[in-house]
């Protein structure tokens, strides 16, 4: 006597509807031994489908017990029921329940993926099962490319591949013609007789039930009759004689945790991509929202980085570790003059700064005046600055050709000058300016050198539109200052880290030299270019933050679109979810599937947005000559942010999918 496989004792299944209760099963007891081929027969509403759901671990009894192969199924949680369905049971449904746009081979493999089987063994078993049912030449065909009988054979192959203990066939011939019905029934008989597979066939058709060895009739949720039967014979069109190797249930055939995860991930990604391809327009419109947001983020970070680099270049062009002292902030008549006003700085101040502050490597007093400059038939209006040779050290300004004036020129008041590139190109467009003679106001001057080009400053001023002459020469010919006063003093600190220290030291020294009391304000202003650069950077960061806030709104709207599309997808694929749960997928597997699809959707949008953002930045750079810096982390930002959006906004629809009741999902039209 074979062992008892199914043991249901005094089972009730009660459905609540408001204040009323409906008994789908009432005090039902049933035992099925291994190797039996049992038909469960009954009219619509008799309870046979509820009984099959109970036996198939898609549902649990309200009261009573159900033991399957020794396991008390009535006490298992959702994960335990999913494990039983995957490792011990197999389903063949009336509607075939194959995943659309998925090959026959992949459909057969899917339960083995959820079981965690190694890839090579999984594929071998799936191919073997398809050969067993006579579909060796249809492994890569999608369900839409197969006839009804062939689809049902794929469903049988899917059931066989997992080496089930029990096969549940729910109206397996309901959608088939008589010839195909006989073929499927013959295949089930062969599996029962030759392979010893226990089969429960649920049907309302007595002719189908006549092919089984035992007929159990269900009426009003109870067993009305239970009798052995001499089965009618059904001939198969295809001779199935392959033998599948039994699966060891000790876990030895499982892939490692990582490989199992990778296998599930591969299937999830593959099906996710197919879902996107299947709904191209809808997916493209959803991706557009993410694309716009990511493109804006990438463009803002790229342009912001370019702005920062440009400011740094311009600050470097002004001078190395430079501070500038202006006369000003002097109280007079109850009013405070602006920086640069008054005559409070002198050449003696610059000498004192250079001699008394060790951290200083260069000090250059300056006087500047606008002057009309003539060279032959050409003329221009430009800045003429009188200064000392230290100016070139402080401003880190080298020569392009020719030479710089030196201390000898300063002492002798030589009428020599060094000009910027703009002045040289304007006054000497067709010849070298070095050695040329110009007149600045009333002062004749010989050009001894042309400065290296520095371009525009951060204030938009052309730094190359300038003429530099020795300070003594300037005073003798173009005097615009009172006594030995100067308009500004440029200072170079020995190191960038010392600029704050030098600034404080200069302020203290000048207050002492100008004999200012504690209660008096400074009559000068010391500008630290580091502070100016930080100020520009803060402004840049503020603007970038505001623009990123706008971009984040676009991302949020895109995320809402993703959530909406995924909710629609869950509704459209409810039956698919039911199929997955029936073949052994856990709720976590369904959750992961839809999360992966949401992440794929958003990642495509993120990568597209990355390309568009970089493209916008490149166009802006080409049109406006704005410096653009494409940072490698932009790609990480695009993929990372879009993936997070997919996880966050895809979680709710994915959770809804995972929480669907398997029975309800399978019945969904």
Main-chain phi, psi angles of 380, to 5 degrees: -160, 160
Residue 193 — very low, low, confident or very high, per pLDDT cuts 50/70/90?
A: confident
Determine contact, residues 628/617, Cβ cutoff 8 Å: yes
pLDDT at site 308: 65
Determine contact, residues 107/154, Cβ cutoff 8 Å: yes
Average pLDDT over residues 533-556: 72
Spatial CA neighbour of 162 closest among 85, 74, 218: 85
Rounded to whole angstroms, the Cα distance separating 337 from 245 reads 98
Rounded to whole angstroms, the Cα distance separating 138 from 153 reads 11
> In what order do the strands lie in the sheet containing 89-93?
89-93, 166-170, 198-203, 37-41, 214-219, 222-228
- The count of other CB atoms within 10 Å of the CB of residue 90 is 27
Residue 228 has pLDDT above 90, yes or no: yes
- The helix or strand, by DSSP H or E, that contains position 647, with its residue range, turns out to be helix 633-658
DSSP label of 293: H
DSSP 305-373: HHHHHHHHHHHHHH-TTEEEEEE---EETTEEPPTT-SS--BHHHHHHHHHH-TTEEEEEEEEEEEEEE
- The count of other CB atoms within 10 Å of the CB of residue 597 is 29
Residue 515 has pLDDT above 60, yes or no: yes
- The count of other CB atoms within 10 Å of the CB of residue 429 is 9
Average pLDDT over residues 84-110: 88
pLDDT in tens, 128-145: 989 888 888 999 999 999
pLDDT at site 330: 43
Rounded to whole angstroms, the Cα distance separating 368 from 475 reads 11
pLDDT in tens, 308-365: 666 666 555 555 578 899 997 544 444 444 444 557 899 999 999 999 999 999 999 9
pLDDT at site 13: 92
pLDDT at site 331: 43
Strand locations in 34-112, DSSP E?
37-41, 63-68, 71-72, 89-93
pLDDT mean across residues, the chain: 84
Residue 628 backbone zone (phi > 0: left; psi -120 to 50: alpha; other: beta): beta
Coil vs helix vs strand at 297: helix
Distance in angstroms between the alpha carbons of the first and the last residue of the chain: 43
Residue 470 has pLDDT above 60, yes or no: yes
Whether the predicted model's global pTM rises above the 0.85 cut: no
**103 alpha-carbon distance from chain centroid:** 30
Residues 6+ apart with CB under 8 A from 474: 367, 384, 385, 386
- The helix or strand, by DSSP H or E, that contains position 386, with its residue range, turns out to be strand 378-387
Spatial CA neighbour of 634 closest among 292, 307, 299: 299
More confident residue, 481 or 534: 534
Rounded to whole angstroms, the Cα distance separating 65 from 638 reads 54
Determine contact, residues 314/457, Cβ cutoff 8 Å: yes
């Amino acid at each position: 006597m074979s062992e008892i496989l199914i043991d249901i004792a005094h089972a009730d299944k009660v459905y609540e509807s408001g204040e009323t209760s409906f008994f789908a099963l009432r005090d039902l007891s049933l035992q099925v031994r291994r190797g039996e081929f049992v038909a469960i027969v009954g009219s619509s509403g008799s309870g046979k489908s509820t009984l099959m759901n109970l036996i198939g671990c898609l549902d649990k009894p309200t009261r009573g017990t159900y033991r399957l192969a020794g396991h008390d199924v009535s006490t298992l949680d959702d994960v335990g029921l999913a494990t039983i369905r995957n490792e011990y049971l197999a389903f063949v449904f009336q509607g075939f329940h194959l995943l659309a746009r998925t090959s026959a081979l992949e459909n057969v493999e899917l339960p083995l993926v959820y079981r965690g089987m190694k890839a090579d063994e999984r594929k071998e078993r799936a191919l073997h099962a398809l050969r067993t049912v006579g579909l060796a030449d249809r492994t890569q065909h999608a369900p839409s490319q197969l006839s009804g009988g062939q689809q049902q054979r794929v469903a049988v192959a899917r059931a066989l591949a997992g080496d089930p203990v029990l096969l549940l066939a729910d109206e397996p011939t309901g959608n088939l013609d008589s010839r195909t019905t006989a073929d499927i029934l013959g295949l089930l008989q062969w599996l029962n007789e030759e392979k010893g597979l226990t089969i429960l066939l649920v049907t309302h058709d007595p002719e189908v039930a006549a092919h089984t060895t035992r007929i159990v009739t269900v009426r009003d949720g109870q067993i009305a009759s239970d009798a052995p039967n001499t089965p009618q014979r059904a001939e198969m069109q295809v001779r199935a004689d392959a033998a599948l190797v039994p699966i060891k249930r000790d876990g030895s055939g499982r892939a490692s945790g990582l490989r199992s995860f990778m296998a599930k991930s591969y299937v999830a990604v593959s099906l996710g991509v197919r879902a996107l391809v299947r709904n191209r327009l809808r997916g493209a419109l959803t991706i557009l929202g993410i694309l716009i947001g990511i493109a804006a983020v990438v463009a803002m970070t790229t342009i912001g980085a370019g702005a920062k680099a440009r400011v740094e270049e311009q600050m470097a062009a002004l001078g190395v570790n430079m501070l500038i002292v202006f006369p000003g902030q002097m109280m007079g008549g109850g009013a405070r003059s602006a920086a640069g006003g008054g005559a409070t700085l002198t050449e003696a101040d610059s000498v004192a700064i250079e001699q008394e502050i060790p951290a200083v490597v260069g000090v250059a007093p300056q006087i500047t005046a606008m002057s009309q400059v003539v060279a032959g038939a050409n003329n221009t209006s430009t800045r003429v600055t009188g200064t000392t040779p230290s100016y070139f050290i402080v401003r880190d300004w080298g020569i392009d050709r020719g030479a710089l004036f030196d201390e000898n020129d300063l002492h002798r008041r030589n009428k020599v000058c060094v000009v910027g590139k703009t002045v040289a190109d304007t006054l000497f467009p067709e010849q070298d300016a070095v050695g040329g003679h110009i007149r600045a106001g009333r002062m004749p001057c010989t050009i001894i050198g042309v400065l290296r080009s520095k371009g525009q400053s951060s204030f938009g001023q052309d730094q190359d539109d300038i003429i530099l002459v020795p300070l003594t020469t300037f005073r003798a010919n173009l005097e615009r200052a009172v006594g030995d006063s100067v308009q500004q003093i440029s200072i170079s600190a020995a190191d960038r880290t010392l600029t704050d220290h030098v600034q404080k030291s200069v302020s203290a020294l000048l207050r002492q030299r100008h004999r200012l009391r504690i209660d008096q304000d400074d009559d000068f202003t010391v500008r630290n270019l580091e502070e100016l650069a930080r100020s520009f950077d803060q402004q840049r960061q503020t603007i970038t933050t505001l623009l990123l806030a706008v971009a984040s709104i676009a991302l949020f709207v895109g995320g809402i679109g993703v959530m909406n599309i995924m909710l629609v997808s869950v509704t459209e694929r409810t039956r698919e979810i039911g199929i997955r749960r029936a073949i052994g997928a856990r709720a976590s597997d369904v959750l992961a599937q839809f999360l992966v699809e949401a992440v794929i959707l958003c990642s495509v949008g993120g990568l597209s947005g990355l390309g568009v953002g970089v493209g916008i930045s490149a166009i802006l750079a080409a049109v406006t000559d704005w410096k653009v810096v494409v940072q490698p982390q932009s790609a990480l930002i695009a993929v990372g942010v879009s993936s997070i959006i997919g996880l966050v906004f895809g979680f709710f629809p994915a959770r809804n999918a995972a929480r669907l009741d398997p029975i309800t999902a399978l019945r969904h039209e």
